[in-house]
């Protein structure tokens, strides 16, 4: 039985979703723009290309089994589905924003104000949690313009770089929800579907782990090896190989991308030379 996966038909998440599936070794071809379903040739998976906002309901109803989607879309749809894992792309925040020149001290600013948003459910929940009574003006698209048009005093919209807010003379004053893309599943998967999902997860994890890490090699004078090894976190223990010059060794290990520059700097100061950094394609733990 094939597992049915929903991804965005068009929009900003589609390219990265397709890329992750391809990097996970799935062999498929994207046909014309009207194509709605893709059969994966080498894995029991069917990919459904659907409208972003339709996916949560299809998932809850079991029309599809799993989906790649932003946390924000799932939160807004208020559906009963399970999050399987974060996929580390599509990061954004749902923010409250007001005109740049308007003074702001705290969340009480929003008491009895009108807020325009395409995320009424998420905003309603946030306002309730903060005991704010405000009017929500639901609007689809061009939310930033609603203040200029006199429809609202504030907006609640998705922000990633903040440049759209800035170019519309707005400033972010409060974060309602932090979001990134995740892999979601319907509540009740059959045993065979769980097996297929686990096989897919195994591949995705290997791609995601690889992206979070880098392989480094460096030359180290033998009398500095202990000091260098104390700096390196490594997957297990770093590899130390002798060089043709018997007073030097080559040290290899894997380090996390997050504190990468810090570690490189410490290695250099401790006497490492000729440091090479290599991207990892797959990393199976
Ligand atoms: P789209 O269909 O192209 O509007 O994609 C919308 C999805 O992309 C949202 O539901 C978010 O999960 C994600 N996203 C990431 N950054 C942003 C952003 N700055 N604005 C809108 N959506 C974003």
Q: In sequence order, what E strands does 100-230 have?
A: 114-117, 135-138, 154-159, 170-179, 181-185, 213-221
157 close to 92: Cβ distance less than 8 angstroms:
no
Q: What's the pLDDT at 30?
A: 83
Tokens standing for residue 11: 């929009």
DSSP element (H, E) containing 4: strand 3-8
* Segment (H or E) for 37: strand 37-39
In ligand 1, which atom is closest to the CA atom of 90? Answer: 15
Q: Which helix (H) or strand (E) holds 76?
A: helix 71-77
pLDDT mean over 207-215: 94
Decide: helix, strand or coil at residue 111.
coil
Task: Report which of residues 188 and 32 the model is more confident about.
Answer: 188
The reported pLDDT for the residue numbered 34 is 81
213-230 mean pLDDT = 96
pLDDT at 141: 85
Pick the closest to residue 147 from 96, 104, 100, 99 (CA basis): 99
pLDDT reported for residue 33:
76
DSSP, collapsed to helix, strand or coil, labels residue 241 as strand
Indicate if ligand 1 lies below 6 Å from the C-beta of 160. Answer: yes
pLDDT at 235: 61
Using DSSP, state whether 94 is helix, strand or coil. Answer: strand
Q: How far apart are CA 233 and CA 250, in angstroms?
A: 16
Nearest residue CA, atom 11 of ligand 1? 70
Q: Whose CA is nearest to atom 14 of ligand 1?
A: 90
Answer for the pair 181, 222: CB distance below 8 angstroms, yes or no: no
pLDDT at 237: 84
Q: What residues pair up with 66 in beta bridges, in sequence order?
A: 5, 185
Per-residue pLDDT at 208 = 95
Ligand 1 pocket check for 93: Cβ under 6 Å? no
Residue 256 phi/psi, 5-degree rounding, is -75, 145
Q: Which of 229, 213, 234, 241 is nearest to 271 (CA)?
A: 229
Instruction: Name the closest-CA residue to atom 3, ligand 1.
Output: 11
Take residue 241 and report the two structure tokens written for it. Answer: 């190989």
User: Which amino acid residue places its CA nearest to atom 2 of ligand 1?
Assistant: 11
What are the tens digits of pLDDT across the range 94-126?
999 999 999 999 999 999 999 999 999 999 999
Q: Is the CB of 13 under 6 A from ligand 1?
A: yes
What is the Cα–Cα distance from 218 to 278, expressed in whole angstroms? 11
> Residue 234 — very low, low, confident or very high, per pLDDT cuts 50/70/90?
low
Mean pLDDT of 149-161: 95
Please say if the pLDDT value at position 90 is more than 70: yes
Residue 183: predicted pLDDT: 98
Going by CA atoms, what residue is nearest to atom 15 of ligand 1?
90
pTM of the model: 0.90
The Å distance, Cα 6 to ligand 1 centre, comes to: 16
pLDDT digits (tens, 9 = 90+) for 13-56: 999 999 999 999 999 998 777 889 999 999 999 999 999 999 99
Task: Compute the distance from residue 90 Cα to the ligand 1 centre, in Å.
Answer: 7
Percent of the chain at pLDDT exceeding 70: 99
- Give distance in angstroms: CA of 278 to centre of ligand 1: 31
Query: From the CB of 213, is ligand 1 less than 6 Å away?
Result: no
Q: Mean pLDDT across the stretch 59-76?
A: 98
């Amino acid at each position: 039985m094939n597992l049915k996966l929903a991804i965005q038909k068009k929009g900003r998440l589609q390219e990265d979703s397709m890329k992750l599936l391809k990097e996970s070794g799935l062999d498929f071809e994207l046909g014309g723009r009207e194509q709605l379903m893709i059969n994966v040739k080498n894995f029991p998976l069917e990919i459904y290309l659907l409208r972003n906002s339709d996916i949560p309901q299809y998932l809850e109803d079991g029309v599809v089994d799993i989906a790649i989607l932003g946390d924000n879309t799932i939160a807004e749809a208020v559906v009963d589905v399970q999050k399987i894992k974060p996929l580390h792309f599509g990061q954004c925040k749902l923010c409250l924003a007001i005109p740049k020149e308007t003074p702001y001290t705290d969340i009480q600013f929003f008491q009895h104000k009108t807020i325009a948003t395409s995320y009424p459910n998420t905003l309603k929940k946030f306002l309730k949690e903060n005991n704010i009574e405000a009017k929500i003006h639901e609007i689809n698209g061009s939310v930033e313009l609603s203040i200029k048009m006199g429809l609202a005093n504030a907006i609640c919209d998705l922000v990633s770089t903040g440049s759209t807010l800035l170019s519309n003379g707005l400033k972010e004053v409060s974060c309602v929800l932090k979001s990134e893309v995740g892999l979601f599943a319907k509540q009740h998967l059959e045993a065979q579907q769980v097996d297929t999902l686990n096989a897919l997860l195994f591949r995705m994890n290997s791609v995601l782990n690889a992206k979070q890490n880098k392989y480094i090699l460096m030359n180290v004078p033998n009398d500095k090896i202990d000091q260098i090894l104390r700096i390196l976190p490594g997957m297990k223990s770093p590899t130390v190989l002798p060089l043709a010059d018997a007073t030097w060794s080559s040290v290899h290990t894997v380090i996390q991308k997050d504190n990468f520059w810090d570690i490189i700097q410490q290695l250099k100061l401790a006497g490492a030379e000729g440091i090479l950094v290599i991207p990892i394609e797959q990393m199976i733990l």
